[in-house]
Amino acid sequence: MNKINIGKELNNLFPTEKTSATKFSYAQVLLSLLLASLSGVNRAARIANFTSDSLVQCLLNLQTNINKDVVGQRLKKLEQFGSVSRIHI
pLDDT by residue (tens digit) across 72-85?
888 888 787 665 55
State the pLDDT at residue 83.
55
pLDDT of residue 3: 65
Residue 36 lies in a domain: yes
Tell whether 84 is covered by a domain: yes
Task: State residue 89's pLDDT score.
Answer: 42
**In the chain, how many domains are there?**
1
* Rounded distance between C-alpha atoms, residue 8 and residue 65, angstroms: 20
pLDDT digits (tens, 9 = 90+) for 6-63: 777 777 777 777 766 678 888 888 889 889 989 998 887 888 899 999 999 998 889 9
Domain-embedded: residue 1? no
Dihedral sign, Cα of residue 43, residue 45, residue 49, residue 55: positive
pLDDT at 51: 92
Task: Tell me 67's DSSP state.
Answer: P
Domain that holds residue 55: 6-15+24-88
